[in-house]
Amino acid sequence: MAAKLKKTRYPGIYKRGSRYVITWEYRGRQHKESFATLAEAREAKGSRSAGEKRPRSRVRFNDYFEEWIESYAGRTSRGFSETTRPEYRRPITTHALPRWKTWRLSEIEPADVRDLFGQMRKDECSTSQVKKLRAALSVMFATALEDGAVRSNPILGVRIPASREEEPEEGKAKALTRSELVILLGALSEDWHLFFEFLTHTGLRISEAIGLRWEHLDLGESPKVKVREQLYKGNRKRLKSKDGKRDVPLSPGMAQRLLAHRRDSYQGPKSPVFASKAGSPLRPENVYRRVLAPTPIGAGFKIEVEIDGEQRTRSTVSFHTFRHTCASLLFEAGRNVKQVQAWLGHADPGFTLSTYIHLMDVGVGNADFLDDAVGAKGELVPTA
C-alpha cells in the first residue's frame, strides 16, 4: 500500500516518503505528479496554477515514434511524400531509438539531444547524418507538441557539434573559380560535357536536372528551362516548395547545344533530356560513381581522408558544386540576392543570403565613384 500523503505548508503540495507530490484538477479529474525536491514541486505547482493544467504525457518514445512514423501525413497543405517516410524512419531507428526507447517522450530535454549528437560525433557520424536525424526528430516532436504529448520541442535551438575531421569552413558553399571550372569541364569526356555545363548554367538541383523532359525545355526566341518536377530515388514527385517551380533562362549558346542534343536523342516530349544509354533517366549514384568521383580526382580536385585507419582519396566536387558555382557566377555578374533566390528556387532570400554571403565578400571596395556623385565641397553634382 502506498504511503499516505502528508500536507506541507504549501497548498496543493504533499510529501510521500522522500518525494513531493502536487495535485490539481483538469477536466473534472484530479491529477498527481511527484518530484524529487520541494523546489521542483513548487515550480510545477506554480505552472499548474498559471494555466498549464494538462497532465504530462506518460507515452514512451518508442510507442509514440512507431505510431507517428506510420501515420504522419505532413504539416503543410502539400502533404507528405511516401519517399520521405523511410528517410525519417532510418536515422531515428538507428541513433535515437537505442538510447531513448523506454524514456517518456516528455522527459527528453535539449541536453539529451546535445548528448545524442555528441555521441554521434564520437562515433564518427558525418554532418549529413546528424542533420538528417535532427530534421526527423524536429518534425516528430513538432507533431507531439500539437498532440499535447510534450510541452516544448527539445530539438529547437540545439546546434550540431563540429567534427574534428572537418575543415573550419565546413558548411560553406564550395564554388569553382572560372579557371577551376575550365579545368574540370575539360577533363570530362565528351559524353558528359554538356550535362555538367548545363548544371553550371542553370544551377538546377541534380534531382531537378535528371527529372527534365523535353517538354520542359523552351528553345525558341527566349530559351528557358521550365522546372516543374523532380526525380528522387527513381520516383517522379513534386518540387519541395512553390518557389522551386520556376523558369530559368538559357544562354543562346546553351540553347544551341541543347538543340543539337535534341536532334541526336529526342524520343518524344516526355522522354528525358539527359538519359542513360538505355534511354532511361539518369541515376545520380551511377553518374557520381562513374564520372563525378574519378574525373575530379584525376584533375586534381581531391582530398586525402582517413577511413578505418586507411588513407583514401576523395573527390572534392559534388553535384551541388555546380549549383554553387552558378550562384557565384550570378553574383559576379551583378545579380542581387532576390534574383539569385528566384534563379535557384530557394523558398527564402534569407537562406540564399546566409548560404552564399561569403561569395559576395569582396570588401568595401574603393571610394572613387563618390567623386562623380558628390562635389569636392560635399555638394551634390547634378546629373544631366
Burial 248-266 (b: 16+ CB within 10 A, else e): bebeeebbebbeebeeeee
Percent of the chain with pLDDT over 90: 35
- CATH 1.10.443.10 in the chain is located at 178-315
pLDDT at 215 over 90: yes
Q: Which fold has domain 178-315?
A: hpI Integrase; Chain A (1.10.443)
pLDDT (average), residues 93-103: 93
Question: What distance in Å separates the CA atoms of residue 339 and residue 253, rounded to the nearest whole number?
Answer: 22
H or E, element range at 33: strand 29-35
Where does 166-318 show beta strands of DSSP type E?
Answer: 217-218, 224-227, 230-232, 235-237, 246-249, 302-307, 310-315
Cβ pair 139, 179 in contact under 8 A: no
Instruction: pLDDT band for 367, please (50, 70, 90 cuts).
Output: low
Domain(s) of CATH 1.10.150: residues in the chain: 61-147
Condensed to tens digits (0 to 9), the pLDDT of residues 295-331 reads: 999 999 888 776 656 777 888 899 999 999 999 899 8
Tell me, what's the pLDDT at 98? 93
Q: Which residue has the higher pLDDT, 362 or 9?
A: 9
**Per-residue cell: 28:** 473534472
Mean pLDDT, residues 110-121 taken together: 92
CA distances from 251 to 256, 264, 344 (A): 9, 20, 16
Query: What span, in angstroms and rounded, lies between the C-alpha atoms of 12 and 68?
Result: 36
CATH-assigned architecture of domain 61-147 = Orthogonal Bundle (1.10)
Task: Round to whole Å and give the CA distance between 223 and 255.
Answer: 6
Residues 255-261 have a mean pLDDT of 94
Place of cell 579545368: 183
Cell of 342: 528566384
Which pTM value belongs to this model? 0.57
Integer angstrom CA distances of residue 373 from 316, 366, 369, 382 = 45, 14, 7, 8
pLDDT tens digits, one per residue of 140-174: 998 888 877 887 899 988 888 875 544 334 445 68
